[in-house]
Structure 1
Amino acid sequence: MADVYKQSFKQNYTHNIELSIFNCGLERCAPGQTWGPGIRDHYLIHLVVSGKGVFEVGGRTYEVVPGDLFFARPNQLIRYTADEAQPWEYSWVGFNGACANKLAAQLPFTDAAPVHHTQDLEGMRAALSSIYSSRGLQPQDEAAMVGYLYLFIAALMRETSESRPHSTSSSSQYVLNAIKYIQFNYSHDISIDDVAKSVGVSRSHLYRVFMLNVGKSPIDYLTEYRVNEACKLLRSGTLSIAEVAASVGFLDQFYFSRVFKRAKGVPPSKYMTSQADADVQPAPDET
């Protein structure tokens, strides 16, 4: 085996709240090289392309070989170790975001089976390589990386549908429709009752399926979405705070400011100033 190496990219700030890449890369490990036990704050998928090793999660140990993908959820205690005689080479991507939990539920991984063997090793490897090749610190780079991540996830979803053809639940469809409604109507004075009515369920049922599929309540999702859309408008610097508030569905500018500060830790006026200051700083070199 050739010398060990590691090529990786870490994203420290993301613009895309729906689905964001935290890190990605490829690595040929040293014999016995291990990570953990520890936890991550994001979803993490590794694809083994050669060699072998073991993946430990939930008190169980899984032997992993070429063509296997192993999957970790946020805050799961995990450890993975390269084989002493045939240490593995793998590619990986780490991601999270408002839609990540819903997407992860449609992947071919479960708590009882966190390892999946793909029938298209080269296709999966190319998809992960495209994510890494698109790396960069600019918004357009992140957009390209997330686009390739969606294609990678879509490929995994196809393999899921082949093994579990009826895996898509009605609850996830309710959530998907509710999210679409929010994304198209957040700028209006909508309530969670409006969202629930749009998808044909009760407010309490919508709450339950959101907690199951997204990990947060509908009102928290709506508020977070509005605040992040407001951040985009504040960064542009072309609108007043009152205009931004109205544009993201807040009729009361002062209530908007309180909600924004609770979410971001600073009032919108200070956020706008900090973004203006950041724009005049030289861009950091990529490492």
Structure 2
Amino acid sequence: MKQHYQLQQHVPTEKMPLGIVHIQMGQSDRKVFHDHNHSEIVVVPRGTGIHLMNGKEAEIKTGDLLVVHPGFVHAYDRVETLEVINLIYDAQRLYLPVLDAGQLPLFNTFFPVNARAARCTAEPLLTLSPPDLAKVMGIIGRMKRELSSNQRGCCFYSLALLMEIIVLIGRLREDEGEKEPIPFRIGDSLKYIKTHFQHTVSVEQLAKDAGMSRRSFFQQFKNVTGCSPIQYLIRLRISRAADMLRQSGLRINEIAYQCGFPDSNYFCKTFHRQTGISPRQFRQKNRNGS
């Protein structure tokens, strides 16, 4: 029988949707298939085991790193020596300052545009070398201490530590050469979108400037970012709008206009579709420090 785990079991509702679950050696449930209402980055600090997902199984070992998103059912086997650390988070409610993070390998794997874009497999994403594993474990240790503290700025610092882990992993993946570096022409398109996101962006013009057909441009763009140009633009606009809702006293219609939305109604609908709450609710929650 499948079990369902919830983020609220591990993270207080008044805090941001980020937590750490440490499962000691041999304490993982054997062949207990389950899913979650949150995403998790799984790090194997030591031991070996079997990861089961999508009808497949893969051996996992010290240094391996996996990702599991909501709706994906998985389990572990041969857990006698297996130790895992789960970084659990709600990818739709963690409002990261995306900036150029979309250029990092694996960023869109950890933070898919929506549930349909999420991809998970039984196999590890990559294997960390002992020195790199030690670096990641050191950051996780600092994050765990911050999340359990009541010091001012603990949530802010914990989020910064998560971003440090994402950058470290992304750069390691790029160094491994397992993924092609970002094509130069798509990189130029990303830069253009980031500097003109508040204006109308023509996909046809982007494709023309990149010297590609519209169809080829779409495919290459998705290969690099994990989403379509329009999805990328919307995600960027919502990210900037979230920053402005947190940091400014501007009216919602002014924020909508400055982030490239034609009117506040469309902005509110899009924001709710992407985040699950309205801009007004988001601003109120952040003003309350939750």
Q: TM-score, normalised by structure 1?
A: 0.66
Tell whether 2:77 aligns with 1:81.
yes
Residue ranges of structure 2 left out of the alignment (5+ in a row): 1-8, 93-97, 110-119, 148-153
Deviation of 1:130 after TM superposition, in Å, equals: 0.3
The partner residue of 1:103 within 102, 105, 108 is 105
Deviation of 1:229 after TM superposition, in Å, equals: 1.3
Alpha-carbon distance between aligned partners in 1 of 2:254 and 2:108, rounded to the nearest angstrom: 39
Deviation of 1:219 after TM superposition, in Å, equals: 1.4
Q: 1:205 — aligned with what?
A: 216
Alpha-carbon distance between aligned partners in 1 of 2:249 and 2:281, rounded to the nearest angstrom: 15
Q: Are the equivalent residues in 1 in contact too, given 2:52–2:122 (CA < 8 A)?
A: no
Deviation of 1:124 after TM superposition, in Å, equals: 1.2
Q: 1:235 — aligned with what?
A: 246
Tell whether 2:177 aligns with 1:168.
no
Tell whether 2:266 aligns with 1:259.
yes
Alpha-carbon distance between aligned partners in 2 of 1:127 and 1:44, rounded to the nearest angstrom: 15
Alpha-carbon distance between aligned partners in 1 of 2:197 and 2:14, rounded to the nearest angstrom: 24
Moved more, 204-213 or 32-41: 32-41
Secondary structure of 1:87's aligned partner: coil
Deviations 1:45-90 (A, max 9, x none): 433333332211343333333x24152453543211353xx43223
Secondary structure of 2:105's aligned partner: helix
Q: Are the equivalent residues in 2 in contact too, given 1:131–1:146 (CA < 8 A)?
A: no
In structure 2, the CA distance between the partners of 1:231 and 1:242, relative to structure 1 (3 Å rule), is same
Question: Which residue identity does 1:204 align to in structure 2?
Answer: R
Q: 1:33 — aligned with what?
A: 29
In structure 2, the CA distance between the partners of 1:89 and 1:105, relative to structure 1 (3 Å rule), is same
What is the count of residue pairs matched by the alignment?
253
Q: 1:147 — aligned with what?
A: 164
Q: 1:54 — aligned with what?
A: 50
Q: TM-score, normalised by structure 2?
A: 0.66
Q: Are the equivalent residues in 2 in contact too, given 1:54–1:63 (CA < 8 A)?
A: yes
The partner residue of 2:64 within 69, 72, 85 is 69
Secondary structure of 2:33's aligned partner: strand
Secondary structure of 2:139's aligned partner: helix
Question: Which residue identity does 2:85 align to in structure 1?
Answer: S
Question: Which residue identity does 1:130 align to in structure 2?
Answer: I
In structure 2, the CA distance between the partners of 1:231 and 1:104, relative to structure 1 (3 Å rule), is closer
Alpha-carbon distance between aligned partners in 2 of 1:271 and 1:105, rounded to the nearest angstrom: 25
Residue ranges of structure 1 left out of the alignment (5+ in a row): 1-7, 16-20
Alpha-carbon distance between aligned partners in 2 of 1:59 and 1:222, rounded to the nearest angstrom: 35
The partner residue of 1:129 within 134, 138, 141 is 138
Secondary structure of 1:204's aligned partner: helix
Question: Which residue identity does 2:81 align to in structure 1?
Answer: P
Secondary structure of 1:48's aligned partner: strand
Alpha-carbon distance between aligned partners in 2 of 1:116 and 1:234, rounded to the nearest angstrom: 36
The partner residue of 2:124 within 114, 122, 132 is 114
Q: Are the equivalent residues in 2 in contact too, given 1:128–1:152 (CA < 8 A)?
A: no
Q: Are the equivalent residues in 1 in contact too, given 2:186–2:221 (CA < 8 A)?
A: yes
Deviation of 1:168 after TM superposition, in Å, equals: 0.1
In structure 2, the CA distance between the partners of 1:238 and 1:144, relative to structure 1 (3 Å rule), is same
Question: Which residue identity does 2:257 align to in structure 1?
Answer: A
Secondary structure of 1:33's aligned partner: coil
In structure 2, the CA distance between the partners of 1:39 and 1:201, relative to structure 1 (3 Å rule), is farther
Alpha-carbon distance between aligned partners in 2 of 1:142 and 1:11, rounded to the nearest angstrom: 16
Deviations 1:152-177 (A, max 9, x none): 3323432x22xx4xx4066x665544
In structure 2, the CA distance between the partners of 1:70 and 1:233, relative to structure 1 (3 Å rule), is closer
Question: Which residue identity does 2:168 align to in structure 1?
Answer: L
Structure whose alpha-carbon radius of gyration is higher:
1
Q: Are the equivalent residues in 2 in contact too, given 1:210–1:217 (CA < 8 A)?
A: yes
Question: Among the aligned pairs, what percent are the same residue?
Answer: 17
Deviation of 1:239 after TM superposition, in Å, equals: 2.2
Question: Which residue identity does 1:69 align to in structure 2?
Answer: D
Deviation of 1:226 after TM superposition, in Å, equals: 1.3
